[in-house]
Amino acid sequence: MTATRGFGIDIGGSGIKGALVDLEKGQLIGDRLRIDTPRPATPDAVADVVAEIVTHFGWDGPVGITLPAVIKKGVSHTAANIDPSWIGTDADALFAKRLGRSEDDIAMLNDADAAGMAEMRFGDPAARKGLTALLTFGTGIGSAVFLDGKLVPNTEFGHLEVDGHDAEKKAAASVKDNEGLSYPEWAKRVNRYLTVLENLIWPDLFIVGGGVSKKSEKWVPLLDIRTNVLVASLQNNAGIVGAAAAAVEGIEH
């Protein structure tokens, strides 16, 4: 019998969030638990927080975990907005040991890829046709690209150079807060970033997510690009949902 519940943890630059997930509806079961990301966000410190979240829920099944990093075969190859010591870390092995599970019971994936996988499954069916790019605006900018619903993993388009700058250094949601930008001011930067990206990959659809998607009415209507833009239907819970699904059903890449 296919499991109808899963457990996902989304590790971000500012917070680590975990929750039980209804895999039939793509919704959280009850409240999620959020704990501030430790400083510095070393592998051991983050693993301690992840263990605390799993213990809080009393979950003893497979666990899906996202990182703001390129993940290949369970190993982190980059470290965006977390400690550089993650680079080269076997995250599968780290979390399996810390959680007392086999590596087969740990699914590691890029945070934006996880969010995108959740949107493909539970979001607007239009996203599963043609080339779709999901972008998460948070501490940085995460990206996930899908062709006819199939993931092209680890794209890292948040690090495109735009006007001489790393895109996320100018257009991440954290920049809006740190620089005290209004939504219209920040939307201009997002618009510039999306223009560069659409000229590079010519997508059929953009999906925008991350915490700032909860205030989408304040900035998405201000965007003036040729590509249609949808707001992530799961908003900032997409990473948790995608991670939980990957843990139960496997990762497609």
% helix, strand, coil for the chain, step of 5: 40, 30, 30
What is the distance between the alpha carbons of residues 100 and 78, in angstroms, rounded to a whole number? 25
Question: Which pLDDT value is given to residue 194?
Answer: 98
Q: Is 244 exposed, middle or buried (0-12, 13-18, 19+ CB in 10 A)?
A: buried
Does the pLDDT of residue 250 top 80, yes or no?
no
Sign of CA dihedral 179, 183, 187, 188: negative
Question: Which pLDDT value is given to residue 21?
Answer: 98
Q: Report in angstroms the alpha-carbon separations of 9 from 50, 173, 238.
A: 7, 21, 11
190 backbone dihedrals φ, ψ, rounded to 5°: -65, -40
Does the pLDDT of residue 86 top 70, yes or no?
yes
Does the pLDDT of residue 251 top 80, yes or no?
no
Residue length, the chain? 253
Q: Is there a contact between 69 and 77 (Cβ–Cβ < 8 Å)?
A: yes
DSSP state, residue 82? S
Does the pLDDT of residue 252 top 50, yes or no?
no
Helical segments of the chain, H only: 43-57, 91-99, 111-122, 167-171, 173-178, 183-201, 238-249
Mean pLDDT for 87-114 is: 96
Tens digits of per-residue pLDDT, 12-57?
Answer: 999 999 999 999 999 999 999 999 999 999 999 999 999 999 999 9
Tens digits of per-residue pLDDT, 180-229?
Answer: 999 999 999 999 999 999 999 999 999 999 889 999 999 999 999 999 99
Does the pLDDT of residue 106 top 90, yes or no?
yes
Report residue 1's pLDDT band, with 50, 70 and 90 as the boundaries: very low
Tens digits of per-residue pLDDT, 112-171?
Answer: 999 999 999 999 999 999 999 999 999 999 999 999 999 999 999 999 999 999 999 999
Tens digits of per-residue pLDDT, 72-83?
Answer: 999 999 998 899
Question: Which domains can be identified in the chain, with CATH numbers?
Answer: 5-113+237-249 (3.30.420.40), 124-232 (3.30.420.40)
Show Cβ contacts of residue 188 under 8 Å, excluding neighbours closer than 6 positions: 222
What is the distance between the alpha carbons of residues 155 and 112, in angstroms, rounded to a whole number? 9
Mean pLDDT for 94-101 is: 97
